[in-house]
Chains A and B, each alone.
Chain A
Amino acid sequence: MAPAPPEGHLLTMSGITKLFPGVRALDGVDLEVQAGEVHCLLGQNGAGKSTLIKVLAGAHQPDDGVITWRGEEVQLKSPIAAMKLGIATIYQELDLVEGLSVAENIFLGHEPTSAGFIVKGGEARAAATALLARLGHPEIPASRQVGELSAAHQQIVSMARALSHDVRLIVMDEPSAALDPDEVDNLFRIVETLTADGVAVIYISHRLEEIRRIGDRVTVIKDGRTVAVGLPAKETPTSEVVSLMTGRKVAYVFPDRPSVADAPRGEPVLRTEGLTREGEFEPVDLELRPGEIVGLAGLVGSGRSEILETIFGARKPTAGRVLVDGQELKPGSVRAAVRAGLGLAPEERKAQALLLIESVTRNVSVSSLSRFSRGGWLDSSAERKAARGATQELSLRPDNPDAVIRTLSGGNQQKAVLARWLLRGCRVLLLDEPTRGVDVGARAELYAVIRRLADEGLAVLLVSSEVPEVLGLADRVLVLREGRVVHTSPAQELDEHRVLDLVMEGSPTP
C-alpha cells in the first residue's frame, strides 16, 4: 500500500506514556493508522500492547502523549467517548452477556427504543440480522442466546456489536486465537470487507503468517516503546521482525547456573510419562532432577499452565501418569501431589493462591497446619515461629507475620506462596508465571531466591510468557507450541530469537 499523505491519517498516537505503580507500562509509544488499512501491532508479552489498546479504548488514561483522531487532538476519557468517536475494541476475552440474545448483545446500551425506554425488539433483530449478513453470517439467528453459539460465532457477534456503532477503527486483540483454520479464513474475508469500506483495523496477533496474509503495515513495540513504525507487512523479513521484538534494553539479572561439574545428576524426582489432556496438550514426557530448573516456554494458550496444573493434580489427565520418586501419583488429586512433595505457585496468585484478608502467617501455614497441631489443637506460637522462619529465609518484606497479605507487593506475595511450600517440605516447585505483577527490581531478587532453592536441592518447573526469563533462569527448556513440545534443549543452546521462531512459526528442530 502506498503511503498516504499525512492528512489521510485516521489516528495518530505520539509519545503515549502510561505509568502503573512501580512500572512504566508505556514509555512513549507512537502509532499512526490510516483509513482502510490493516495495521498490525507486534510485540512480546509484556511489551505494552494490551495497555496501548486499553488507552485507545478509553479504558486507561495516558499520563503523557497526544492522540489525534481525524486531524483533531482528542482525549479518550472513557470507553463511551472512544466508541462515540468510532473506535471499537474486540478483546481477546469476549465481553458478551451469555444469557442475552444475539440482537440484545449487539445493541446493549444503545437499543432502538420508542418513548425512550421501550425496546423495539423487532427493529433490533432486523438491524442485527443486517449487520450479521454484512459480516457474511446471515445464518446466525438474531434471537438465539449468545451462550449457545460457538466461539467463532460469538466473535462475529462481537464484531457486529462494534459495527452497530458508526465505527471507523476496529481493534482486534488476537482474534484468531480461538478459531479453527477455516474460521480464520472467514475472519480475514470480514476484515477485507471492512477495509474496503474504509474502516481501519488494528490487528494484534502472534502468528507471523497471518500478519503476512492480511496486514498492510506493522508497528513493533518493545518494553513500552515503539521500535519500528509502518514496516511493510508482506516484505519485511521474519528475522528483522523478530530481532526488533527481542533486542531488549531492560537487563534482567539472572543468577549464575551451577557449573557443569555440579550439574544435577541424581535420579529424577519428578517424571511424567505420556501425560496428556485431550484438547489442551499432547503427550508430555519430562524429567526433573533435584537441583534442576526446567523451563516451559510458549505462548499463552500453548498448554503450559495446563501441564503444570495437571502434574499438580488440579486437572485430571486423559492419559499418561505422573511419578514422584518412581511412585505413581493418584491422578487428579491435589492432596496426593502435595503429600508427595509437590507445590504449585499458580498463575493467578490472588484467585488461586492467597487468602487475601488473612495474615502472612496464615497464608504460609495453610498447607502445613497438621504440623503445628496435636489432636487438631493448633499451637499458634509454633506456627508463627515456623512461618516467620520460612518468610525470613526468603527475605519477605515487611518482616511482620501479622501483615495482611493483600497489602504486600506482588513480589512479596509470591514469596509468601513460596514460603508456604518451603514450610511444607516441598521438593518439587511448580512455578506458573512467578514474576507476573512483580516489578522489575523485585524480579532479580525472586530469580535469586528460585536459584538458591534449586541449589539447596529443590527441583523447579518454571512456566513463563517471558522468554528471557525462561532462558535466563532455567537449566533446560522445553518449547511448546499449541499443546505440543516442539523442542527440548539446554537453555544455553537457545536464544530468544530461536525460541520465538519456534513458538511462532512452529518449524521443527533442524
Chain B
Amino acid sequence: MKQPASEAQQGGPDAAPAADAAPVPLTKPAGKTPGGSGSRPPLGLRLDFRTLSLLGVLAVLIIVGGATKPDAFLATSNLQLVLTQASIIGVVTVGMTFVITSGGIDLSVGAIVALASVWATTLATQEYGFAGILFTAIIVGLACGLVNGVLIAYGGMAPFIATLAIMASARGLALLITEGNTQIVTLKSVLDLAARDSYILGIPPLVIIFAVVTVVGWLLLNRTTFGRRTIAVGGNAEATRLAGIDVRRQRLYLYLFSGLCCGIAAFMLIVLSGSGQNTNGNLYELDAIAAAIIGGTLLSGGRGTIVGSVLGVLIFTTITNIFALNNLQSDVQQIAKGAIIVAAVLVQSRTARHGEA
C-alpha cells in the first residue's frame, strides 16, 4: 500500500545535504516567527461550502429514500449493502482522485479491475488460495499502472490516449483469459469475507477496506511529500519541474497508485461476487471520474479532495439504491446522475468565481 509513497521520497535523502549546507542564515528569522500554525484547521477537513453542500445532497437523498421506502431503505441490511457497493468503486475513485489532481486521467480503471479479477480467479491462481488471489489481483493492477505510467511519464503520451489504449487491451486480455466464461471462486476463505458472520460490529469487511484506503489516501494527499508533489504537478507541471522536482517519476508513481487501487478493488469484487468476469468494472472509469469531479477535485488538476470524492461515491450509490428500491428504470437513474454532475459543477464554478467559500 505504502510502496509508491516510500519510493517517492527517495529524492529526499540525497537532496537533503545540499539544503543543510545553506550559506544563507535562515534560522535567525525563524526564531522570531510566532508559532502561528496552531489555529489552522487541518487541510481537507475544513467543512467548506463545497463539502457542506455535498453532505446536504446526501442528507436530502437519505430523506427521500426514507420517505419513499421507509422500511426497505433504512433497514440495516440495506445500508450495509449501499456501503458495500460504494466500497469497490470508492477504492477506485481514491486512486482516480490522485491522478486527476495531478492533471491526468485514467480511463483504464474499469478494464484493470476486470483483468485483475479474472487473472486472480483462474483455476491455477485459485490453487494458491486466499493469498494467491489477493497477491495476483494487486500485482496485475500494479503492472497495468506501471504500463500506463511509463507510457505517460516517459513515453510522453497524453494520459487520455495511453489509458484509453490500456483500457482496450486490458479488457481484451480479460476476455482472452476467460473466453467469456464466469470463473467461479470456490475458496471458502475468500467467500467468507462477504458473509454476514465476518461483519465486525455490523460493518462488512469490504467497507473496512474502503475506510482504510480512504484514510491512507487522505493522509497521503494531505500529509506527505507525495501528496504535495501530486498537487504541485497538477497545479503547474513546468513550474514544478523548474523547482527541481522529478515530475516524470511522480507521474509514474501516480498511475502505479491508481493501478494498485484497481487491484484492491478487483479483489473486493471477487469477494463480493464470488467470481471473476471479463465484464467486471464496466464503466467504472466514468463513475470514478464523475464522483471525483462532483466531490470538488479539479479536472484541470492542482486541487483534489479525498473527502469530496468519497461523498461523491456515496451520493451516486445512494441514488442507485433508491431508484432500485422504487423500481425505477435505470434510464431514469442515468438521467438523474447526469443532472447531478451538471448541478455540482455549476455550483462549484460559481463558488470558485466568488473566491474561496
Contact = CB atoms under 8 A, between A and B. Distances in A.
Interface residues on A, range: 35 or more
A456 interface: yes
Given A356-B235, A358-B231, A344 B242 contact: yes
Interface string A425-459: 11100000000000000000000000001001110
Contacts of B20: 425
A351 interface: yes
A370 B240 CA distance: 14
Contacts of A373: 9, 12, 224-225
A457 B224 CA distance: 33
Interface string B268-285: 000000000000000000
B23 A357 contact: no
A376 B26 contact: no
Contacts of B124: none
Interface stretch (A33-41, A81-89, A91-99, A381-389): A381-389
Contacts of B231: 355, 358, 362
A363 to B, nearest CB: 9
B40 interface: yes
Interface string B221-241: 001111011011001101111
A341 B20 CA distance: 11
Contact of B21 (A353, A358, A388, A425): A425
Given A352-B238, A385-B33, A392-B33, A367 B24 contact: no
Nearest 10 pairs between A and B by C-beta? Answer: A425-B22, A338-B244, A370-B12, A389-B30, A389-B29, A355-B235, A376-B9, A381-B37, A369-B225, A367-B243
A357 B231 CA distance: 10
Q: Residue among B21, B27, B38, B235 with the most chain A CB within 10 A? A: B235
A59 interface: no
Contacts of B14: 339
A390 B245 CA distance: 20
A376 B29 contact: no
B201 interface: no
A102 to B, nearest CB: 29
A401 interface: yes
Interface string A30-52: 00000000000000000000000
A268 B16 CA distance: 23
A312 interface: yes
Contact of A370 (B15, B35, B239): B15
A75 to B, nearest CB: 31
Interface stretch (A168-176, A236-244, A416-424): A416-424
A378 interface: yes
B174 to A, nearest CB: 34
Given A357-B303, A371-B16, A378 B224 contact: yes
B246 interface: yes
B5 interface: yes
A371 B302 contact: no
A491 interface: no
A340 B18 contact: yes
A346 B242 contact: yes
